[in-house]
Amino acid sequence: METLDEGLAFRSARPLPSMSDAHPPAPAPLSEFVRENIAFAANQYSGMLAQLAASNVYPRTWTGEKRVLVRPADWTSGFFPGALWYLFEATGELRWREAATAFTAGLEGMKENRRTHDVGFMLYCSFGNGYRLTKEPRYRAILFGGAQSLATRFNPNVGCIKSWDTRAEWPFPVIIDNMMNLELLLWASRESGDPSFRDIAVSHADTTLRNHFRPDASCYHVVDYDPATGAVRNRQTHQGAADESAWSRGQAWALYGFTFMHRETRAPSYLGQAQRVADFILGHPRLPADKIPYWDFDAPRIPNAPRDASAAAIVASALFELCDYVPTDAAARYREAATEQLRSLASSAYRAAPGDNGCFLLKHSTGSFPRGSEIDVPLNYADYYFLEALLRKSRRALRHERDGMTRR
Ligand code: GLY
């Protein structure tokens, strides 16, 4: 990962799209719990913006002394702009739209990035949220460009998109994280009516469902395929404790990915898988009482394994969506678990003290334990999914109130 020095003050890089074209949201109606967390986030990220020099480098983490900034091609570059869009959505304040627009603009070049599956994370969190909230036509074109680039990585022999080009020993690695990038493809088909993007997403999800999971519904991190025959060569890990362990963030990506696959296709197989993964996570004997997982469900506990707040934030966000697709008793169980996770993340054990933590929101995430990288630190994607989960919780409560349903 290339890191960059930070400078003095953030400047908007591009003019705003005209407000006449925009669909500014009314500020989201928020519960007191969500409102307080959004106010906290707004305060932290105001501090962050005041300390950033340019809008084409992206805050990723904080070492305790220094903020780590990355370029657009870093897999995490879309999360900071995405979090700024969520603040715009939550507050309706133009200052967040201005900041989100500027940081989103710096990622335009990623629409031509054919060297990684991560183009989905980079573009859908930034331009995807921007387009959802503003209907800016330029954003739509950039998202299609990104979907086309991502689709070039699909191999019909394997039935999957290739994740990485970087490891010689893996000719065709597919990591569970890759599920997340399918949302860009599903969007592209929904938006254009061209089924080819969706067909790729469905093929990838079906192949992943067949090959990535163990009988207990936990998943491998990496499945390496023979690109000529599609045969599975190896099942291994990259960021987990062992090839046969359950890396916590991998389980979170699986839950989130199969949940939106069900949203977009209504296929019962995806819903069943999402539920099995949710039940694996929530029923795991090593899930701590505060429901914030250790970095790997099978990590040795002694003396004290680090947690992964990012995994918890991703799981909470996914569970708030999954609630909408399952019977009442399961919905209640998932909503309660997600709410408990959010309450833990919002407590002083995980949420930064105002102005601390390099102005990131959450503490105690783990990037790659086996590489000794980003252990027990803030991470931009923990913040992004925390904000997303807060908004999903609010939207869900509002929908139930509006529909006159008893809140589950
Ligand atoms: N997608 C990389 C990670 O979750 O660390």
Query: How far, in Å, from the CA of 287 to the mean position of ligand 1?
Result: 20
Q: Where are the domains of the chain?
A: 32-398
Q: What is the CA(320)–ligand 1 centre distance, in A?
A: 21
> What does the pLDDT read at residue 408?
32
Residue-wise pLDDT for 338-359, tens only, equals 999 999 999 999 999 999 999 9
Report how far apart the first and last C-alpha atoms of the chain are (Å, whole number): 43
Please indicate whether residue 177, judged by its CB atom, sits closer than 6 Å to ligand 1.
yes
pLDDT at 405 over 60: no
Mutate which of 1, 61, 70, 75 for ligand 1? The one with the most ligand atoms within 8 Å of its CB, which is 75
* 383 CB within 6 A, ligand 1: no
Residue 84 has pLDDT above 90, yes or no: yes
**Cα–ligand 1 centroid distance for 353 (angstroms):** 26
* Rounded Cα–Cα distance for residues 252 and 312 (Å): 8
Residue 271 clears pLDDT 70, i.e. is over it: yes
> Is 8 a residue whose pLDDT tops 90?
no
Give residue 66 CA to ligand 1 midpoint distance, Å: 22
For the stretch 36-73, pLDDT in tens is: 999 999 999 999 999 998 999 999 999 999 999 999 99
What is the mean pLDDT of the segment spanning 132-151?
Answer: 98
pLDDT of amino acid 399:
76
Q: What share of the chain is helix, strand, coil (3-state, %, to 5)?
A: 50, 10, 35
Beta-strand pair 173-175/160-161: unpaired
Residue closest by Cα to atom 2 of ligand 1: 177
**Residue with CA closest to ligand 1 atom 1:** 177
C-beta 118 within 6 A of ligand 1: no
222 neighbors 208 (Cβ within 8 angstroms): no
Residues that are catalytic: 118, 177
Write down the pLDDT at residue 190.
Answer: 98
Q: What are phi and psi of 220, to 5 degrees?
A: -70, 155
> Per DSSP, which regions of 156-264 are E strands?
160-161, 173-175, 222-225, 232-236
Flag whether pLDDT at 25 surpasses 70.
no
- Predicted pLDDT of residue 114: 98
- According to the CATH classification, is domain 32-398 in 1.50.10.10? yes
Q: Which atom of ligand 1 is nearest to the CA of 239?
A: 5
In the chain, the percentage of residues whose pLDDT exceeds 90 is: 87
Task: Look at residue 1 in the predicted model and tell me its pLDDT.
Answer: 52
Q: What is the largest CA-CA distance in the chain?
A: 58
Instruction: Tell how far the Cα of 45 is from the centroid of ligand 1, in angstroms.
Output: 23
Verify whether ligand 1 is closer than 6 Å to residue 117 (CB atom).
no
407 has pLDDT over 90: no
**pLDDT reported for residue 21:** 37
At residue 175, φ and ψ (nearest 5 deg) are -100, 155
Cβ neighbors of 48 (< 8 A, separation 6 or more) are 59, 358, 359, 360
Find the helix or strand (DSSP H, E) in which 327 lies. Answer: none
Alpha carbon distances (Å) from 87 to 29, 77, 284, 346: 13, 17, 33, 16
Q: Which atom of ligand 1 is nearest to the CA of 121?
A: 1
Q: What is the mean pLDDT of the chain?
A: 92
Which of ligand 1's atoms lies nearest the C-alpha of 118? 1
* From 121, 239, 310, mutation site for ligand 1 pocket: most ligand atoms within 8 A of C-beta: 239
- CB 60 near ligand 1, within 6 Å: no
Q: How far is the CA of 177 from the centre of ligand 1 (A)?
A: 6
Asked if residue 249 has its Cβ within 6 Å of ligand 1, the reply is: yes
Verify whether ligand 1 is closer than 6 Å to residue 74 (CB atom).
no
